[in-house]
Amino acid sequence: MKTRHTLSVLVEDHPGVLNRVVSLLRRRSFNIESITVGHSEQPGVSRMTIVVLGREEEVEQAGKQLYKLMEVLKVAEMTPANSVAHELALIKVAAKAQSRAEILQIAQIYEARVIDASPTTLMIQAAGTEQKVDGLLQMLKGYGIRELVRTGPVAMSRGSQMVAVRDTVRPERELAVTANGSGVNAN
């Protein structure tokens, strides 16, 4: 049975790396639900958080295939037990004068913020777990959601180390993680 898997992939920060990673997953027939990419704590290294649908063995094979890309330094599967995952959403909701107070109260309950307002809409920024964002959207649906954008999750492992999908790959390229969690290149 196919389930959702969240992969955290550390890569060298070079043009074209995102394309190579996505192309590899596409060739393996993975449907990427979301992908976020940003700088990591180490200069020249980016962290990708990729959510894919697949069977356990398929995802493990994808992790092994990702290591074949020269720019890939580390691949880890993030599970709810070993990681924290949050996403960001911007929601533009219809807000008539009589409903603004209710919408503001809902936003406050979900620890969301109003970041823009017009005479007919409010733009709300929400950050948190997927379930929290889903709950806020469900509450706002009755007012009329005009626009919505979600980042998909970004995930980080709990504790001081990433758990590798595969530990025995190209040690010369492996990113060592010190006890305090800061990355040090193993070269």
**What pLDDT does 180 receive?**
35
**What pLDDT does 166 receive?**
40
**What pLDDT does 139 receive?**
97
Q: How confident is the prediction along the chain (187 residues), in pLDDT tens digits per residue?
A: 888 999 999 999 999 999 999 999 999 888 899 999 999 888 899 999 999 988 889 889 888 899 989 999 999 999 888 899 999 999 999 999 999 999 999 999 999 999 999 999 999 999 999 999 999 999 999 999 999 999 999 998 888 765 444 433 444 554 443 333 444 444 3
Adjacent-strand bridge partners of 35: 50
Tally the domains of the chain: 2
The span from the CA of 115 to the CA of 124, in Å, is 6
End-to-end C-alpha distance for the chain, whole angstroms: 40
Q: What single-letter amino acid sits at 81?
A: A
User: Which domain covers residue 66, as residue numbers?
Assistant: 3-82+158-185
Q: Are residues 130 and 170 in the same domain?
A: no
Here the CATH number for the domain that contains residue 142 is: 3.30.70.1150
Here the CATH number for the domain that contains residue 15 is: 3.30.70.260
**What pLDDT does 41 receive?**
87
**How far from 61 is each of 22, 48, 79, 160, CA to CA, in Å?**
15, 18, 17, 26
Torsions phi, psi for 130 (to 5 deg): -60, -40
Q: What single-letter amino acid sits at 98?
A: Q
**What pLDDT does 161 receive?**
63
Q: Are residues 133 and 180 in the same domain?
A: no
Q: Are residues 13 and 71 in the same domain?
A: yes
Q: Are residues 75 and 16 in the same domain?
A: yes
**What pLDDT does 82 receive?**
87
pLDDT digits (tens, 9 = 90+) for 107-124: 999 999 999 999 999 999
Torsions phi, psi for 26 (to 5 deg): -65, -45
* Pair of tokens at residue 141: 């649906």
> Residues of the chain with pLDDT > 70: what percent?
86
Q: What single-letter amino acid sits at 134?
A: D
Q: Are residues 88 and 70 in the same domain?
A: no
Q: Are residues 109 and 122 in the same domain?
A: yes
Q: What single-letter amino acid sits at 62?
A: A
**What pLDDT does 5 receive?**
93
The span from the CA of 133 to the CA of 117, in Å, is 20
* Whole-model pTM over 0.75: yes
